[in-house]
């Protein structure tokens, strides 16, 4: 146990109770600061993703994919771009991550069939169990 060895090595238990409180207090404050920074970063990213798409070229591409551009936000545009790129490259790991994001974790009895046409951007997704349902 690396943490316990570290404590024993620096004789934490031999420190006065007051010094132990000071050290644990510093650790707690640093942890709270890190949690706040992480929360704020997530909030900023969510706000960015929620922004409307204003670029006419992006709107045109989304419309070609059949996405309602009046409702599309930057997250939708980013997801669509990732889907097009992973189909273009045949990137199985990216496809797997996108599939699990959309449908949740798959067990061995579940499969998904994905076909895509890059130029026409026609994407069909079918989900079925092992028995074909």
Residues 38, 101, single domain; the answer is no
Residues 80, 60, single domain; the answer is yes
pLDDT at residue 116, as a whole number: 53
Residues 39, 89, single domain; the answer is no
Residue range(s) defining the domain that contains residue 11: 2-45
Residues 21, 61, single domain; the answer is no
- Residue 17 tokens read as 């109770």
Name the pTM for this structure: 0.54
d(C-alpha 69, C-alpha 53), whole Å: 8
Region 32-48: what's the mean pLDDT?
Answer: 93
Does 84 score more than 50 pLDDT? yes
Count of the separate structural domains present in the chain: 2
Residue 132 binned pLDDT confidence (cut-offs 50, 70, 90): very low
Residues 108, 89, single domain; the answer is yes
Residues 90, 123, single domain; the answer is yes
CB atoms within 10 A of CB 87: 19
Residues 114, 85, single domain; the answer is yes
């Amino acid at each position: 146990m690396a943490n316990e060895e570290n404590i024993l090595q620096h004789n934490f238990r031999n420190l006065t109770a007051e010094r132990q409180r000071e050290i644990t207090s510093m650790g707690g404050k640093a942890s709270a600061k890190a949690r706040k920074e992480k929360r704020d970063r997530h909030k900023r990213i969510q706000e960015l993703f929620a922004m409307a798409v204003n670029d006419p070229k992006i709107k045109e591409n989304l419309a070609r994919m059949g996405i309602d551009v009046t409702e599309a936000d930057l997250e939708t545009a980013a997801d669509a771009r990732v889907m097009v790129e992973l189909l273009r490259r045949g990137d199985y790991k990216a496809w797997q991550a996108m599939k699990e994001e959309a449908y949740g974790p798959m067990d061995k009895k579940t499969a998904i069939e994905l076909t895509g046409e890059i130029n026409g951007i026609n994407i069909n997704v079918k989900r079925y169990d092992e028995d074909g349902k």
